[in-house]
Structure 1
Amino acid sequence: MAEYMKEQEKPLATETDPIDVEESNPPFSADRTSRPRWRCIICCGCCAAILLILAMLVLILMFTVFRVKDPILRMNSMKVRGLNLLGNASLRPDMNLTVEADVLVKNPNYAPFKFSKVTTSVHYDTFVIGEFVSPAGRAEARKSVRTNVTIIIMVDKVSQVPRFRGDLGEGILPVSTFTGIRGKVKVTDVFKKSIFVQMNCTMNWNLSSLAIQNRNCKSTRVEF
């Protein structure tokens, strides 16, 4: 009976007494679930950055290395040998009249420009009075190649031009030249382009001074 009374005298736990629950039910750890999420975000960010860099690199290459530019034709020099013969009233087919020209092919691309035969012709009014075909060639990447052209003028055709007598009296023959070159620039199997470039030059042959005057040349690309 005395023992029963002692147990009854023991105070009960109050609401204010602290209760230690760490041993039986530990709190939820946020670090364990947030780490995989952050790793996924970092991985996705790195992949997106790499793809963005690759896209920018391809875009830069398309506007620089992979961009195919038009080759440039340039007439460095031109000479007419036998121009004094045109002052003769009686022109004969056996008269030796030649045009010597130095044509430059400039390749601004990062790949070689392979071209076929180069055709150069001399025109007086609407008549072709001379023509020359140069062999095929190759202009290396960002380099130039020179082609020497020698055109034999058909004197009998010059005399057949209706305006020749009038131009002969003035001592000036307005002539023009045409140079056409066809080729291909191949950077890769995807980035390649066929190109046809032409150069038109106008000038005056002075029969008194035996000089070429007012020479003006323009190089353009022809779509085909």
Structure 2
Amino acid sequence: MADPESQTMRLAPAGERSDEQPFTNTAIFTKPKYQESSKCLVYVLAAVVFHGTIFLIFGSVFLRVNNPKLRLSTVSIRNFEHANTNSTSLNITMSAEVTVKNENFGRYDFDNCNAVILYGNSTIGGGDIPGGRVGARNTKPISVTMQIRSENLNFSGSGSDGTGLMEIISYAKMTGRVHVLKIVDRRKTIEMNCTMNLNLTSRSISDSICS
């Protein structure tokens, strides 16, 4: 007679263990390679745009070259000789200071030039401005001696209003080169055009205006 316990015992199918966990089909998600490459391309383009913007800002601010400015700042008379007979003769020595203002981010090397003094259409004097160098974002003062020597000048010595004023012009043209970071080397020519009044009565200079 069969054992009762054997009748109630279930046998597992061949090749299958009863203590094994049931099989679950779980897929592992991986990013496609084309998404990673597209992100790298975006990063590269962003870096190119960023560096390009920085270069444009740097170039527009630091590499831009403006014209320096040449101005007559002060004038004083050291010697004054004035003879007024039928015509006017002048022998005047003036001490002047001109300034070269450089607003660029690089030095300005300039050559020597000549400043002339004009009365009407006649050249009545002048002086030499020596060459030199002015640093970046700097202003250089230059001392200049100017002479006015003229004979038989068509001027009565009193002026139309009796004040004895002669309107004279001091003009100069200076040539040089602006050097910025060994990248930019540009030739720049600047001009000085200053109008002033020479007072033959008080022997002084007044109302100097430069443009």
- CA 1:38/1:118 → structure 2, altered by over 3 Å: closer, same or farther? same
Superimposed CA distance per residue, residues 66-125 of structure 1 (whole angstroms, 9 cap, x where no aligned partner): 001110122220112334x225438898x7411211001011111110111132111111
The residue aligned with 2:63 is 66
Q: 1:199 aligns with which of 192, 199, 206?
A: 192
The residue aligned with 1:110 is 105
Q: Give the residue type in structure 2 aligned to 1:128.
A: T
> CA RMSD for the aligned pairs?
2.6
The reply to whether residue 173 of structure 1 matches residue 161 of structure 2 is: no
User: What's the offset of the Cα at 1:46?
Assistant: 1.2
The residue aligned with 2:47 is 50
Q: Secondary structure at the match of 2:82?
A: helix
Residues 124 and 149 in structure 2, CA contact (< 8 A), matched pair in contact too: yes
Q: Which runs of 5+ in 1 are unaligned?
A: 1-19, 219-224
The residue aligned with 1:125 is 120
- CA 1:166/1:76 → structure 2, altered by over 3 Å: closer, same or farther? closer
Residues 121 and 130 in structure 1, CA contact (< 8 A), matched pair in contact too: yes
- TM-score, structure 2 as length reference: 0.78
Matched residues, number: 187
Residues 79 and 93 in structure 2, CA contact (< 8 A), matched pair in contact too: yes
User: What's the offset of the Cα at 1:205?
Assistant: 1.1
The structure richer in helix per residue is: 1
Q: Secondary structure at the match of 1:68?
A: coil
Q: Which moved more, 1:74-83 or 1:45-54?
A: 74-83
Q: Secondary structure at the match of 1:109?
A: coil
User: What's the offset of the Cα at 1:167?
Assistant: 4.8
Q: Give the residue type in structure 1 aligned to 2:50.
A: I
Superimposed CA distance per residue, residues 26-66 of structure 1 (whole angstroms, 9 cap, x where no aligned partner): 96x652xx342222122111111110111111110121110
Q: Secondary structure at the match of 1:62?
A: helix
The structure richer in strand per residue is: 2
- Give distance in 1, aligned partners of 2:24 and 2:210: 96
- TM-score, structure 1 as length reference: 0.73
Task: Using the aligned pairs only, state the percent identity.
Answer: 26
Residues 115 and 171 in structure 2, CA contact (< 8 A), matched pair in contact too: yes
Q: Secondary structure at the match of 1:70?
A: coil
User: What's the offset of the Cα at 1:126?
Assistant: 0.8
